[in-house]
Amino acid sequence: MASFVDRATIRLKAGDGGNGCVSFHREKFVLNGGPDGGDGGKGGSIILVADHNLHTLMDFRYKTKYQAGNGGAGSSARCTGKDGEDIIIKVPAGTVVREKESGRVIADMFSPGQTRVLMTGGRGGFGNARFATPTRQAPNFAKPGVKTAWHEFILELRTIADVGLVGFPNAGKSSLLARITAARPKIADYPFTTLTPNLGIASHKGSSFAVADIPGLIENASAGAGLGFSFLRHVERTRLLLHVVDASGQEGREPAEDLRVIDGELSRYGQLDRRPQIVLANKMDLPRSAENLESLRQAAGERTVIPVSAATGEGIETLLDTVVGMLAQLPEIQPLAEEEGVLEEHLTGWEAEKVEDGVFRVFGVSMDSLLDAVNFSDYESMNWFHRTLRASGVIDRLRELGAQEGDTVRLGDTEFDFID
């Protein structure tokens, strides 16, 4: 049980592209063979898969760095280098992936079986065979492969279920889960028996729905009391909450007051109090429950109150009918919106400086890979290059440093005119 982990930070790197090769064909009796250097292989990608057998992010506590294989270098006789090996990382369904630096949602691994290429490997560089033209028969150069950078991501498990059970410790949440599903959670007569979320599937009259049971909440859970309220993350992606109250009022408790306290904690956790909700007056088999029912109904306001007993099964049929009926009316949960193209044209790790009057320099890892990726003899490619520089703030930064139309900008070995 101690092995539940629902947040992790990992570092990932796609494979570098292999370098292109400079080589000339050699054969007996053939004097000057043509260029035959092959292209570099593509770097391996990082691929995520949502696996329905996984329920925690435990694995990432032990292994936090993953690196896909680099592409091999090209070789003579136009041989392309070997592609780097992909890395496939399995995560539980419901894992949300955010880029650490920006906090942006890169992927929501919402449904079991879903795959997602998180980072693409670098392109291999062209070998010199590619650069032969009628006027340049012996190109003595090739292109390096695109080099990739390390990126940090935050993984966060946000369980997806139709129904979530919430309430005070000892109210009987786990007992109800055991009653309506095949799950066998720990149940005991002391608070905080449940320490990590439990999931089960309930089937009723041809419908089935997933139920999540979480640790109990207490007053000021939002301020960290008890186990705190971070477990509410695991009922955040549900369509309906079952608010379980111990109606018997054991140990001097007041059921209506219990209901109000949990309502307060739910509202403090990003408006979970607005989620459709059924109030379950549990433990109706106990003597004082019946007399507490009226005040509980009043405190529940417009919510439906269903008297039940996880112990005897009383009211469970009505509960299941009501849940199935309500779920049929409620919209499906939607995955989070993913922000597109974040890793493709979002250059970080560059700097710009003024070298002397009228001369500026831009450098850094991302500039190196940008230069490797652009083909300067291609109009489209040049356009993309300019767009990327602009989108990444390079042009603005140069202007800030005082660059004027026609000044020189150095990027790697190449010089450009500054065009605003």
As to burial, measured by CB atoms within 10 angstroms (0-12 exposed, 13-18 middle, 19+ buried), residue 297 is middle
Figure out which of the listed residues 19, 75, 292, 309 binds ligand GTP, where binding follows CB under 6 A.
309
Which residues, 6 or more positions from 417, have their beta carbon under 8 angstroms from its beta carbon? 406, 407, 408, 409
CB of 391 to Mg ion, least distance (A): 50
311 binds, among Mg ion, ligand GTP, none (CB under 5 to 8 A by kind): ligand GTP
Burial 329-359, CB ≥16 within 10 A → b, else e: eeeeeebeeeeeeebeebbeebebeeeeeee
Q: Contact 143/377 with Cβ under 8 angstroms?
A: no
Residue (183 or 286) nearer to ligand GTP, CB: 286
Q: Give yes or no for residue 50 binding ligand GTP (CB under 6 A).
A: no
What is the smallest separation between the CB atom of 62 and ligand GTP, expressed in angstroms? 28
Partner residues linked to 117 by β-bridges: 47
Residue 246 or 407 with smaller CB distance to ligand GTP: 246
Residues near ligand GTP (CB under 6 A), total = 24
Q: Among 192, 208, 301, 317, which residue interacts with ligand GTP (rule: CB under 6 A)?
A: 192
CB of 161 to Mg ion, least distance (A): 15
Q: Which does 293 bind (CB under 5 to 8 A by kind): Mg ion, ligand GTP, none?
A: none
**Spatial contact of 47 and 113, defined as CB atoms under 8 Å apart:** no
Count of alpha carbons within 13 angstroms of residue 344, beta-carbon side: 7
Cα–Cα dist 59/63, whole Å: 6
215 makes contact with ligand GTP (CB under 6 A) = yes
Min dist CB 52 to ligand GTP, Å, is 25
How many residues at the interface with Mg ion, by CB under 5 A? 4
Query: Given candidates 87, 96, 280, 310, which one binds ligand GTP under the rule CB under 6 A?
Result: 310
Q: Report the nearest approach of Mg ion to the CB of residue 175 (Å).
A: 8
Start-end of H helices in 341-391: 365-373, 379-391
Shortest distance, position 98 Cβ to ligand GTP, whole Å: 30
- The arrangement of strands across the sheet holding 351-356 comes to 351-356, 359-363, 408-411, 414-417
Task: State how far the alpha carbon of 162 is from the alpha carbons of 97, 270, 326, 333, 412, in Å.
Answer: 22, 19, 11, 8, 55
Which amino acid is located at 168 in the chain?
A: F
User: CA–CA separation, 199 vs 206, rounded Å?
Assistant: 20
Provide the 3-class DSSP secondary structure of residue 267.
helix
Rounded CA gap, 244 and 278, in Å?
9
Q: Which does 285 bind (CB under 5 to 8 A by kind): Mg ion, ligand GTP, none?
A: ligand GTP
Q: Is 216 a binder of ligand GTP (CB under 6 A)?
A: yes
Rounded Cα–Cα distance for residues 215 and 232 (Å): 9
Between CA 321 and CA 238, with CA 261 as vertex, the angle to 5 degrees is 40
Q: Is residue 194 a contact point for Mg ion (CB under 5 A)? A: yes
**Contact call for residue 196 and ligand GTP (CB under 6 A):** no
Q: Is 172 in the site for ligand GTP (CB under 6 A)?
A: yes
170 sits near Mg ion (criterion: CB under 5 A): no
Instruction: Find which of Mg ion, ligand GTP, none residue 188 binds, CB within 5 to 8 Å per kind.
Output: ligand GTP
Shortest distance in whole angstroms from residue 176 CB to Mg ion: 9
CB nearer to ligand GTP: pick between 42 and 173: 173
Q: How far is the CB of 195 from Mg ion (least distance, A)?
A: 9
The residue from 76, 120, 148, 175 that contacts ligand GTP (CB under 6 A) is 175
311 binds ligand GTP (CB under 6 A): yes
Q: Per CB under 5 A, does 174 bind Mg ion? A: yes
Query: Least separation, in Å, of the C-beta of 191 and ligand GTP?
Result: 5
Other beta carbons within 10 angstroms of residue 89's beta carbon come to 21
Q: According to the binding rule CB under 6 A, does residue 23 interact with ligand GTP?
A: no
Q: Which stretch binds ligand GTP (CB under 6 A): 181-189, 257-265, 374-382, 386-394?
A: 181-189
Among ligand GTP, Mg ion, none, what binds residue 192 when CB lies within 5 to 8 Å by partner kind?
ligand GTP
d(CA 227, CA 264): 16
Measured CA to CA, the distance from residue 255 to residue 291 in angstroms comes to: 11
Q: Measured between alpha carbons, how far is 222 from 265 in angstroms, rounded to an integer?
A: 6
Q: Of residues 241-300, which lie at the interface with ligand GTP (CB under 6 A)?
A: 282-283, 285-286
Interface contacts to ligand GTP, rule CB under 6 A? 167, 169-175, 187-189, 191-194, 215-216, 282-283, 285-286, 309-311
Interface contacts to Mg ion, rule CB under 5 A? 173-174, 193-194
